[in-house]
A and B are shown apart, each in its own frame.
Chain A
């Protein structure tokens, strides 16, 4: 149980620090609450305005008000026991929300290490739940000699890893643990991650004749900076590639939305269209931008997705002020991390909460992985002859 709690904590922390988002900044808030009733009212009202999934979420938010308004009214904001008790109530209130980025962090000193993360709570109770696995520890064994690895510490103090090389001299492989590739590439001074990116881009643009396909591995990748979607995937195309639609809250009302606008990846300078088959490896811990990358690749011609359904956090995130929705806070008590946009894939479906599903499903096998065998990668390698 403790191990599961630790896993959930690590996922929540990395998700919040790295998810498909713009720079962090001030989160809008109302006045500082004077009692717990105030805390609840501000939280409940701001959810109406800022949560983007009310059109598809089945949580009865009005019933939440009717039930918990009086419960919170009995709690004392100056009582540490009541402050701790409130975490359980917030967990109950939000346990059905489909937003899979959604997390509540708490500010009072007594509960600042606590958090509520409904998606993770649901996933750890699923029958096929498994812990995240560091595939890079075994995948280097599949790469031909001369592969490169690198790392970079991001502005938000996250260390990210990447690896690139060829497999059986016929496949070009790239993996990364998070997305801050453009940030690393443009960072002043040299860093080893930049070298990995340069290697991969050079190979991509000048693929030797023996290269028959590309494998992009975003398993156990918690997402990252949105600009990477154009910086990285824009290298594969020479014209804009539509992969879905986004819409945002268009007013203060629960069902006030803007129209859907197209979501496209834009080609980068000197990019060439990819004329090779491309495979993307993703798993249950491919989160946020990693899921977007998976979906973009799947929208390319001659593409295939191998692995497990992704996490289901498909709505991108930015500052609340950009769209007047998404993340918000109740001053001095809690902050809510949640999507700024509702995302719909090019096939017309919304995969929030459920995850994007693979073409070839290969569940994670811990025993095989512990013996150095990556079944998902092997399937990808064997597909290209």
Chain B
């Protein structure tokens, strides 16, 4: 049994060693949202925000229909916590930049024009963050007289825009999850090809460390649309 396992493993290595390798560059847009419990927050929604993604796809053709893909790259996972209804105008946007390493198995069909489906896992590190928002200034309170003679209280909104300060107790700088995608490739020649990809990734790791009991998790969910080109060796 042990002898058969070694043979299978060596065969796979030989397959990879003899496989065609492609490498390229790819860029596109990301759209992220944060999954967390905000049921206790009045008039509040979490909205997706657009960001960018750029990666270096490395593809190993194991079989004509089976590829292994590794995509080291940078991606923004942005979202906004927005107030609605009478609090509309108040928001807190988080712009987060990650370095990410997805590894996927890709099934490819076609010759010159190919379609593909891929699934795999990813890991990453949260590199930096930025906050932009608008919030009522509690000390700006002033009374305004309504048409009905009653007095209402008014708070002006104050804007902020600054780098996110990481908190070592709270923030989990590493993430992992699963990823899947569909795409198409167009072979310009035996050497060059264009690629178009749509991916969906779901973090399984919490953006926050578990620093207190019964803590609600915060998970990133991201879709990307990318286009790029590759050279086949």
List residues of chain A with CB under 8 Å of any chain B CB: 22-23, 28, 30, 45-46, 48-49, 61-62, 65-66, 182-183, 186, 188, 225-227, 229-231, 246, 248, 250-256, 258-259, 261-266, 292, 316, 318, 320-324, 340-341
Contact = CB atoms under 8 A, between A and B. Distances in A.
A263 B139 contact: yes
Interface string B8-39: 00000000000000000000000000001110
B41 interface: yes
Contacts of B139: 226, 229-230, 246, 263-265, 292, 316
B34 to A, nearest CB: 9
Contacts of A316: 138-139
Contacts of B38: 251-252
Given A22-B141, A230-B141, A262-B158, A324 B36 contact: no
A246 B160 CA distance: 12
A22 B153 contact: yes
A226 B155 CA distance: 11
Contacts of B87: 321-322
- 6 residue pairs, one from A and one from B, having the closest CB atoms: A226-B141, A227-B141, A324-B41, A321-B42, A255-B170, A263-B139
A227 B153 contact: yes
A32 B167 CA distance: 35
A250 B167 CA distance: 14
Nearest to A260: B160
A248 B135 contact: yes
Interface stretch (B49-57, B113-121, B190-198, B206-214): B206-214
Interface in B128-176: 131, 133, 135-143, 145, 149, 151, 153, 155, 158, 160, 162, 167, 169-170
B44 interface: yes
A28 B40 contact: yes
9 contacts: A22-B141, A250-B81, A251-B36, A251-B218, A252-B40, A253-B216, A258-B160, A316-B139, A340-B138
Contacts of B42: 28, 320-321, 324
B82 interface: no
Contacts of A255: 167, 169-170, 211
Given A259-B162, A322-B155, A227 B142 contact: yes
B43 interface: yes
A258 B167 CA distance: 13
Contact of A45 (B92, B142, B167, B214): B214
A258 B131 CA distance: 9
B138 A230 contact: no
Interface residues of B, number: 41
Contacts of B149: 188
B215 interface: yes
B143 A46 contact: no
Contacts of B145: 186
Interface of B: 36-38, 40-44, 81, 87, 92, 131, 133, 135-143, 145, 149, 151, 153, 155, 158, 160, 162, 167, 169-170, 208, 211-216, 218
A88 to B, nearest CB: 23
Contacts of A261: 135, 137, 158, 160
B162 A48 contact: no
A341 B136 CA distance: 11
B137 A253 contact: no
B40 A253 contact: no
B141 to A, nearest CB: 4
Given A230-B139, A258-B160, 12 more contacts: A65-B213, A186-B143, A186-B145, A229-B139, A251-B38, A252-B38, A253-B218, A256-B170, A261-B137, A316-B139, A320-B42, A322-B87
B145 to A, nearest CB: 7
Given A252-B40, A259-B131, A230 B140 contact: yes
A62 B40 contact: no
Contact of B212 (A226, A254, A322): A254
A61 B211 CA distance: 11
B15 to A, nearest CB: 47
Contact of A252 (B37, B133, B153): B37
B116 to A, nearest CB: 38
Contacts of A48: 212
B141 A259 contact: no
Contact of B215 (A182, A227, A253): A253
A321 B160 contact: no
A354 B155 CA distance: 28
Given A227-B153, A255-B169, A322-B155, A250 B140 contact: no
Contacts of A188: 149
Contacts of B214: 45, 65
Given A261-B135, A261-B158, A253 B208 contact: yes
The interface centre, meaning the residue of A258, A259, A321, A323 with most chain B CB atoms within 10 A of its CB, is A259
A259 B161 CA distance: 9
A48 B151 CA distance: 34
The interface centre, meaning the residue of A62, A65, A227 with most chain B CB atoms within 10 A of its CB, is A227
